Amino acid sequence: MTTVSKDRLESAAELVYGVFQGTPQYNWPLLSQHAGVEIWVKHENHTPTGAFKVRGGLVYMDNYRRSGNARGVIAATRGNHGQSVAFAASRAGVPATIVVPEGNSVEKNAAMRAFGGELVVHGHDFQESLEYAMQRAEGDGLSMLPSFDEPLVAGVGTYAMEFFTNAPELERVYVPIGLGSGICGVLSARDALGLKTKVYGVVVDTAASYALSFEAGKVVSTNSANTIADGMACRVPVEAAVESICKGVEDVVRITDEDVKHAMRLYYTHTHNVAEGAGAAPLAALLNDREALQGKRAGVILSGGNVDLSLFQSVIAEPDEDAAPH
């Protein structure tokens, strides 16, 4: 189980705020009117890398730099973790190798290179990229930078501290689950602040390993994880994350890719923000629960906005009468 203390979260925040001063949280009237729920959005699409992961990368690389090990790091990713690693490693003066699967986001790949990462394409999905990165780490003497670890949870947990501190008290918060650092950070912040907010994890039904694990109370892997929300395409959960989720969340809910696309369109038409699939997933889950939330106040994590133009164009072009403001 990975739980981060209030002191640790505050220490991580000092590092993060040395680079950027957090992100905003807004209540968008059109979204709230559409759902009949007072919705507060945490805009992690407004970080220097366009996603929440950068916070964890900054904390991790600060620890790495202080350790005196500067040979280099290697990580596997579908994009946002890799951008975080490349961004933070470049600032720390540490070489970073980033392994991505075949057919990965063209624009995320370009961003990782621009942030200073050496990109390697290997494997059909994230899990194969991860296994290859681990082999390279051992063979080349590099430090494997995982997608889930305590410094990463501490770093990304700073967005939850901001959210819970600056938004009105929320009855529910919906959080997307990739490998689990984000939701574990939210749980840590909620508990550190002594709040009663119920936390709901969100997965896509075609990448449901964390929902299955929550239901079983132990790690349950799947043979595939295919979804438009590439940041949530996990088929092998992290045991420490599963333990924290089983202990601290109210439920892990499942949505569909069609739900995700609908939420992406809503974000654009109702707030003019671009949300990637994982970033839109929490809103999709809230909308599915709107009847139980009427008259209440809930929060959603817009975890990132890094979606390829071609994919975004195809999503926006699909007819969706319910997404247009009235």
- Region of poorest pLDDT, from 57-71, 109-123, 194-208: 57-71
In this prediction, residue 52 carries a pLDDT of 97
**pTM (predicted TM-score):** 0.94
25-27 and 38-43 beta bridge pairing: antiparallel
DSSP assignments along 160-205, one per residue:
HHHHHHHSPPPSEEEEE-SSSHHHHHHHHHHHHTT---EEEEEEET
The range of the structural domain enclosing residue 225 comes to: 6-51+150-323
- Is a pLDDT exceeding 80 seen at residue 69? no
Closest by Cα among 231, 216, 175, 215 to 199: 175
Q: Judge if 278 and 185 occupy the same domain.
A: yes
- Work out the pLDDT band at 172, boundaries 50, 70, 90: very high
215 falls within a domain = yes
223 falls within a domain = yes
Q: Judge if 218 and 106 occupy the same domain.
A: no
In the listed set 109, 144, 179, which residue is the last one of a domain according to the structure?
144
Our measurement of the distance from residue 278's CA atom to the centroid of its chain's CA atoms, rounded to an integer in Å, reads: 7
90 falls within a domain = yes
CA distance 150 to 4: 8
In the listed set 92, 119, 144, which residue is the last one of a domain according to the structure?
144
Please compute the mean of the pLDDT values over residues 213-224 and round it to a whole number: 95
Q: Judge if 131 and 183 occupy the same domain.
A: no
CA distance 218 to 270: 39
Q: Judge if 63 and 189 occupy the same domain.
A: no
Q: Judge if 78 and 173 occupy the same domain.
A: no
In this prediction, residue 323 carries a pLDDT of 67
What percentage of the chain has pLDDT greater than the value 90? 85
In the listed set 144, 167, 197, which residue is the last one of a domain according to the structure?
144
Q: Judge if 229 and 175 occupy the same domain.
A: yes
117 falls within a domain = yes
Closest by Cα among 222, 202, 179, 208 to 277: 202
Q: Judge if 80 and 154 occupy the same domain.
A: no
1 falls within a domain = no
Q: Judge if 44 and 57 occupy the same domain.
A: no
Q: Judge if 135 and 68 occupy the same domain.
A: yes
Neighbour-count burial of 141, counting CB atoms closer than 10 A to its CB (0-12 exposed, 13-18 middle, 19+ buried): exposed
CA distance 265 to 30: 13
pLDDT tens, residue by residue, 78-91? 888 999 999 999 99
Question: In this structure, are residues 113 and 265 in contact, taking their beta carbons and an 8 Å threshold?
Answer: no
Neighbour-count burial of 62, counting CB atoms closer than 10 A to its CB (0-12 exposed, 13-18 middle, 19+ buried): buried
Q: Judge if 177 and 250 occupy the same domain.
A: yes
**CATH number for the domain including 236?**
3.40.50.1100
CA distance 193 to 161: 8
DSSP class of 117 = P
Q: How many domains does the chain contain in total? A: 2
Q: Judge if 90 and 164 occupy the same domain.
A: no
Q: Judge if 44 and 70 occupy the same domain.
A: no
In this prediction, residue 70 carries a pLDDT of 66
C-alpha triplet 50, 84, 82: angle, nearest 5°? 105
222 falls within a domain = yes
